[in-house]
Each structure stands twice: as C-alpha cells, then as structure tokens.
DNA sequence: GGTTATGGCTAGCATTGCTACTCATAGGCG
DNA sequence: CGCCTATGAGTAGCAATGCTAGCCATAACC
C-alpha cells in the first residue's frame, strides 16, 4: 500500500476500532492488521500521534490504566462527538469510495486501449 | 469531501480519465466531476501540477495542440508505463477499499455502543 | 463593452502519515 | 544469569501531496 493512501482515512479507521470496545494503541494496531486482512500494518509512529490528535479534537478520551504491577496502558473511548464523527466518516467513506470506484473501475465501451 | 481524502488516489483517477481518450486538464476536470457524481470538483491547482507530476514520472506524455486560431491545449496520452501503472493502481485501490470497508462498515455483534 | 466559459499555470502552505529512533516492563529460554 | 522477543508508549523531523489564491490569455455570449 502506498504511504499516502491512508491520508484522510486513518481517523475513521481509528474511531471505528476504538468503537469496538475500550482499546489502546497497541491493541488497535493488532485489530487493524487483522481486520484489514494484513493491509494495514501501521507503525506506532502513525498510531500514537493520531490518537493524540483525536483526543485533542475531542473525539476520544484517554485514561491511564494499570496492567500488572507497574505497566500502564492508555485506554480510549469515543466521546459523543466521536460517535457522531464516526457516523459522518462512514457516510463520507461510502460516498468517496463509490466515486473513486465509478471512475477507476468503470467499463468503457471504447476501452480497447489501443 | 475532506481535502486529504484524495491523497494517494488522485494519480489513479487521472490515469483512468486520460485512459478514456486523449484528454487535457480542463476536460479531465469536467469528466471527473461528472463521473464521480459531483464528488470530485477539483481546483485547477490540483489538476495541473498533478498532470505535471505524472508526465515527469513518465506515465503520460503531453503534446500541445491548437484549438481554433491561437488557442492551445495540452493533450495527454498514457505511456506503456502509465498503462501498467493504471492496472496496478486499480488493483491497489480494490485491496485498499476492501480493507477500509471491512474495518469501517463491519457489523459488530456487541455493537450496542453503550 | 462586460461577463462568463475555456484553457493553462504557479508559489507557498497545511496536513498528515512515515521513518527512525528512545524508553520501560514482562516473559521465555538456553 | 543473560539475551531475545513481546508488550506498551512516545517523539522529532521529514516527505509527499493536494489546496489556496492568485495570475494570464482567448473565446463566446449578451
């Protein structure tokens, strides 16, 4: 996958993943990789700053939790605004992907590309 | 449509459009708007630099043509490399959109987002 | 004559995801 | 015990790319 392909769509993916239960960066990464059939194998340098952005934007809220004795996780949940954003992003993705597909995958009658 | 949504996909759209006959910037814009159902209403500041990039990359070749008396158009055709790129981009788009959709539009059993 | 459509172009910006690290705890294994 | 891997989080700086906001010219229409 080209590096730029994700641009503008990552937020939606993260919101959708977080919506699937209280999640944290590391787990989100695994879930994204699995659910995407391996397409999205995102570096942590992509995940964490993005979560940060979403939190700053008020779409998710993070909370430190303890794992074991001195291990910590930052768990995120969607805010109401985040939930609305997710709905909007899904709709937006549908429109976008439909549009791209209709341009890209269109059958052309004169498509005997000489 | 968010500004960044297109990133990484514009080249494919342009290649596909140029593949639909010898086209030039202005016409490409119209075709994209029409075929996308209005989703892609791209400013010329997006189109022309992008065509330039594609030409520099050897995926299309441009040629000035005269329209009327002293009007000019830069008409583009796909090169063999461009045609190969288009095939690759279509495949890549399919994989990408499938992946995004499976993350975004997935039905979750526990989706009663409390 | 003035407005709109056709046609092309550019400098500089803003956003965003990636690269390439750092740091720490925990568990497994020779 | 010492090393390697997995888990978990983070950052500075970069590169790419599409957009903003302009510019210019010809042609057509009223």
Contact: A13, B108; criterion CB under 8 Å: no
Q: Which of residues 70-109 of B touch strand C (CB under 7 A)?
A: 71-75
CB A93 within 7 Å, strand D: no
Residue of A nearest to B31 (CA): A103
Q: pLDDT at position B110, please? A: 45
Q: pLDDT at position A86, please? A: 96
Q: Average pLDDT of B102-112?
A: 68
Q: Average pLDDT of B22-41?
A: 93
In whole angstroms, what is the distance from residue B97 CA to residue A68 CA?
A: 39
- Paired tokens of A71: 């291990």
CA A53 vs CA A16, A73, B9, B10, B77: distances in Å: 15, 17, 23, 25, 41
- The average confidence (pLDDT) of chain B is 91
pLDDT in tens, A99-109: 999 999 876 55
**Are B13 and B47 contacting, i.e. CB atoms less than 8 angstroms apart?**
no
Chain B residues inside the 8 Å CB shell of A19: 108, 111, 113
Does residue B109 surpass a pLDDT of 80?
no
CATH class in words for B3-92: mainly alpha
Task: List own/partner pairs for A85-91 with CB under 8 A and 24 or more apart.
Answer: A85/A11, A85/A15, A85/A59, A86/A12, A86/A15, A86/A16, A86/A19, A89/A11, A89/A12, A89/A15, A89/A16, A89/B104, A90/A12, A90/A16, A90/B104, A90/B105
Q: Using a 7 Å cut-off to protein CB atoms, list the covered nucleotides of chain C.
A: 6-12, 15-21, 25-27
Predicted confidence band of residue A111 (pLDDT cuts 50, 70, 90):
very low
CATH match of A3-101 with 3.30.1490.100? no
User: C29 C1' – A20 CA distance, angstroms?
Assistant: 36
Per-domain boundaries in chain A: 3-101
pLDDT in tens, A20-78: 877 899 999 999 999 999 999 999 999 999 999 999 999 999 999 998 888 999 999 99
Does residue B81 surpass a pLDDT of 60?
yes
């Amino acid at each position: 996958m080209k590096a730029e392909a994700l641009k503008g769509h990552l937020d939606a993916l993260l919101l959708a993943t977080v919506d699937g239960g209280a999640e944290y960066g590391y787990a989100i990464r695994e879930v994204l990789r699995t659910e995407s059939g391996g397409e999205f194998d995102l570096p942590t340098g992509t995940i964490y700053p993005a979560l940060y952005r979403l939190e700053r934007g008020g779409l998710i809220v993070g909370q430190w939790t303890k794992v074991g004795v001195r291990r910590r996780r930052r768990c995120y949940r969607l805010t109401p605004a985040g939930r609305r954003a997710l709905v909007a992003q899904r709709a937006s993705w549908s429109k976008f992907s439909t549009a791209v597909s209709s341009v890209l995958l269109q059958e052309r009658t004169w498509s005997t590309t000489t």
